[in-house]
Amino acid sequence: MTKLTLGSHPFLLGFEQLERLVERTAKSGNDGYPPYNIEQTSETSYRITLAVAGFSDDDLSITIEDRQLVIRGRQSEEDASRIFLHRGIAARQFQRSFVLADGVDIGEATMENGLLHVDLNRAIPDSVVQTIQIKKGS
């Protein structure tokens, strides 16, 4: 029996890229840190919120790489003179990725009370009807 994939279905022409995106997302292996929320704020906008307590604006970077929103955090090196009797707050780096659909753009990013908010906007495409002329064979 042949495995039917999204790209091989006869009615889904040109969706091979979508199948690769799904595979890439499944392999991203995010370990759950930092925790995040995704909310729909209107019909055409979304907000991703990451809990980044302990990170400053300078410790975070937000980039778009190949239609993927990548948020990285790296805390600066600590003062070696500090002596911890108990260390329960880990200072670790992270990378969190989100695959963006075509037409989704980044609005703005804000920090508030240890939460990083990244706003996304989706453009509504114009409905286009195209008529294809049929040529007569010779």
Answer positive or negative: Cα dihedral of 61, 107, 103, 27. Answer: positive
Number of domains in the chain: 1
| d(C-alpha 72, C-alpha 123), whole Å | 26
pTM for this model (two decimals) = 0.71
CATH number of 119's domain: 2.60.40.790
Range of the domain at 104: 33-78+86-124
In a domain, 49, yes or no: yes
Q: Per-residue pLDDT for the chain (138 aa), expressed as one digit of tens each?
A: 556 666 566 677 776 766 776 676 666 555 688 999 999 999 999 999 999 988 999 999 999 998 899 999 998 776 778 888 998 776 689 999 998 988 899 999 999 999 999 999 998 888 889 999 999 887
Residue type, 78: E
In a domain, 134, yes or no: no
In a domain, 21, yes or no: no
Task: Evaluate whether 97 touches 36 at the Cβ level (below 8 Å).
Answer: no
